[in-house]
Structure 1
Amino acid sequence: MSKTPKLLLVDDEPGVRESVQAYLEDSEEFDVEVASNANEAWEFLQKNTPELVISDIMMPQVDGYQFLQKLRNDARFQAIPVVFLTARGMTSDRIEGYNAGCDAYLSKPFDPDELEAIVKNLLERRRVSVNANSESAKLEEIAQEIKEIKQQLGQQQTFTTTPSPIKIDLTPREQSVLDLVAEGLMNKEIASRLDTSVRNVEKYVSRLFSKTGTNSRTELVRFALKHGLTK
């Protein structure tokens, strides 16, 4: 079960805090923490990192623009989506909000259904972005491992004249998948390249593990390079 997204609502009006928190939590899709001003919100952030912030602009001491700037200047919170709620609904105010780095801007009074839709949309966009970055980092890690394996094998071939050939019967599709794995491609990319499903690619990779006696992509590539099954 996926965890409930935690939101931080910052507003100096008790009525707004209570009504927005109640509405969003009634859906049982969000866990909403509240703060009555930016300073209180900043203290909360030192101990908890929400997935999204909803903030008023017109607040005493530190206004929403200053609070947002502080968020964007801190590497820990730069990627957190921020929704502005404000009684100032002029076009110039909205432009100022977007220029400050907010992700959405709702003028009071607002429709809570619209706020909920905006929150869901921003959370989904963030989830997709995080997954893409994670997959990219994993791909880079695998590519680096493959590069190191090739370098190690190249050094070994300098000192040996006895190749270690091995005969493993691979189907043309298995060979294609193996070659792409050796390039550092992930299953989704291989599926796209070969015009097949990710599930089929997973099946071929599993067969390659079985035929080569390996348990991971890195071991598979090391084995394939060592025994001349791919270049």
Structure 2
Amino acid sequence: MSANILLVDDEPRLREAVQAYLEDSGFNIQVASNAREAWQFIEQATPDLVISDIMMPQVSGYEFLKQMRSDERFANLPVIFLTARGMTSDRIAGYQAGCDAYLPKPFDPDELVAIIENLLRRNPQPAMVANATPEINDLAGQLAEIKALLKQKTPENQSSIVTTPPPIKIEFTPREQSVLELVVEGLMNKEIARRLGTTIRNVEKYVSRLFSKTGTSSRTELVRYALQHGLVT
């Protein structure tokens, strides 16, 4: 599967040239013209690697990188600085901020591709293994527990589940609510993706958000929490 790369640069001509070259090299490229736009992209769908300029308006590449490194979701996301600032002090500042590679402009596109391929080999991201499946035994165990919980929810056994309000108010987006309801039905990510017309990667993102919002760490815990607190009908 081709790697998904986010390219962040406020110079349209350079951005378009790098995008074209990397797409010709087999990568999937998404572009952003500033750090704020880039942050919205990575929150929606985490890329496999980020290439960022340093000198950008409002939020610099340094600040953007520090923001990523302070968020556990993106702490290990490979980042390449592609910038006109090539002084030793600038490179040191980049590495101190947490970049994985620093390539001064002008640069050789083939060198950029080589750096990308090297980083992706060393740092495989969840997005690159989105189709990987959990251990069969563990998955079977979770499905069995979920089915047992669902049996308690049938009309004849409705009294066996005592629902109470969640300890904190939880607000789900419409998409998160849809994913939650399908998880409670006992569907796995591939089935949910097919039902909602989206990708497995996006479903994984929503399930992760559900874990975070409910304080759970497995599908079984999530289903139990949703049933106990009346989060699904």
TM-score by length of 1: 0.54
Alignment of 1:121-160 (within 5 A): 121-127=118-124
Matched, 1:21 2:35: no
Q: Which residue of 1 is the match for residue 10 of structure 2?
A: 12
Task: Note if contact 2:6-2:30 (Cα within 8 Å) is conserved in structure 1.
Answer: yes
TM-score scaled by structure 2?
0.53
Q: Distance in 2 between matches of 1:58 and 1:100?
A: 14
Deviations 1:193-228 (A, max 9, x none): xxxxxxxxxxxxxxxxxxxxxxxxxxxxxxxxxxxx
Q: Tell me the amino acid that sits aligned with residue 125 of structure 1.
A: R
Which residue pairs with 1:30 in the alignment?
27
Distance 1:57 1:48 in 2: 22
1:87-108: per-residue Cα shift (whole Å, max 9, x none)? 1110010001001100000101
- Structure 1: tracts of 5 or more residues without a match: 132-136, 142-231
Residue 112 (structure 2) aligns with: 115
Distance, in Å, in 1 between the alignment partners of 2:100 and 2:113 is 14
Q: How many residues were matched structurally?
A: 131
Alignment match, 1:86: 83
Q: CA deviation at 1:127?
A: 2.6
Larger Rg: 1
CA–CA distance in 2 between the matches of 1:55 and 1:32? 13
Q: Indicate the residue corresponding to 1:99 in structure 2.
A: 96
Matched position secondary structure for 1:83: strand
1:11 is matched by which residue type in structure 2?
D
CA-atom RMSD in angstroms: 2.2
The Cα of 1:128 is off from its aligned counterpart by: 9.5
Q: 2:43: which partner in 1?
A: 46
1:157-207 Cα deviation digits (max 9, x unpaired): xxxxxxxxxxxxxxxxxxxxxxxxxxxxxxxxxxxxxxxxxxxxxxxxxxx
User: Residue 86 of structure 2 aligns to a residue in which SS?
Assistant: coil
Displacement of 1:16 in angstroms is 1.1
Higher relative contact order, chain-length normalized (CA < 8 Å, sep 6+)? 2
Whole-Å separation in 2 of the counterparts to 1:78 and 1:118: 19
Which residue type is aligned with residue 7 of structure 1? I
- Tell me the SS of whatever aligns to 1:78: coil
Any conservation in 1 of the 2:48–2:127 contact (CA below 8 Å)?
no
One-letter amino acid matched to 1:37:
N
Paired residue for 1:147?
none
Distance 2:100 2:87 in 1: 17
Conserved? CA contact 2:48–2:125, under 8 Å: no
Aligned counterpart, 1:71: 68
Q: Whole-Å Cα distance in 2 between the matches of residues 128 and 39 of structure 1?
A: 22
Aligned in 2, Cα 1:53/1:73: closer, same or farther, shift over 3 Å?
Answer: same
